Amino acid sequence: MDSVDFDALEGQARERMLPASFAFCAAGADDEISAVENITAWRALRLRPRVLNDVAAVDTSVTLLGDRQPHPIMIAPTGRHKLFSPEGERATARGAARAQAPYVMASNANVTIEDVAAERRQAPQWFQLYYWPDRGEVEALIDRVAAAGFTALVLTVDAPTGGWSPRAAREQHEPSPDILNINMPGSPMARTFYHPDFAGRVLYPATWRELEWLIKRSPIPVLVKGVLRADDAVRCAECGVRAVIVSNHGGRHLDTTVTTAAVIGEVASALSGKAEVYVDGGIRRGTDILKALALGARAVLIGRPVIWGLAVDGAQGVTAVLDHLLVELVRAMQLSGTASLKEITPDLLAP
């Protein structure tokens, strides 16, 4: 697989997917403004490289939640991977392990938690959680996740109800007993938010009260995903959250939000020393990763490109996407005169 040009990779993936599967993967909310601007915002930032520094040996290692990792690239939680590959999330987890990348498994996966855990090797696995109305079901799930060896919970907080995507709504999946949200209560057949049955319904009613309870109840660290404001990020840290993921859900729910590139610096500055900060949304190049780190992110999460790799070449496709981004990051670091992540500072970006 040639992943040098992710636009080309997306085209290859589209050829292999059913139209409804591609629509689900590609969809942004409403006019898809945020989905597009997430990408262009990183591209618009300009680098100011240093020169004459020794970059013969580059160190991309980073500490995430106290554990040393070989690089700062993770897989973002995305659901329903059997729409893209017969093995579903099992292949994604295997690809992540080969690339030594932390994998954040989605609540609405089509493969069991235990089957994904079996692919772990040495790479961390975290679990993305939606908070359901029945607290007992949430408790049972987080205990199951911890028992399977997952080392963090990632609570998604920016989608109490679904957004609307005209593109995805026009290409609805037919419910199939072969594709279930198998870890969710009742293992429902996999429908998406973009179905009229879900319009306006609050499905995941998490509030600050539920977050405080979850942090006390969870046997593993809790992160919050979906924060775009410094004040919310600080309050999350004060509740005991170990890390915050700056995210606008890939532009899939509320259109015309700020881009993640626009706010990561503000959030990172507000959280300095209080909690770790990660970012997702529109990252397509090693230079994008360099820019995110310069703005204060400790790591980045990759969503759609991983799905493209999965659709084209299964687990090997996932690994190829992650490995390619790491190669690009190393090259970007060398060309900007930075030999380690601690040398990637805000002055590398033009004001």
228 in Cβ contact with 263 (< 8 Å):
yes
What positions carry a catalytic annotation? 249
End-to-end, the C-alpha distance of the chain in Å comes to 37
Distances (CA, A) of 83 to 21, 253, 307, 311: 6, 20, 10, 9
The one-letter amino acid code at 35 reads: A
Hey, how many other C-beta atoms are within 10 angstroms of the C-beta on 186? Answer: 8
For 217, the 3-state DSSP assignment is helix
Q: For residues 266 and 41, is the Cβ–Cβ distance under 8 A? A: no
CA max distance for the chain: 60
Q: C-alpha angle with apex 267: 263 to 268, nearest 5 degrees?
A: 115
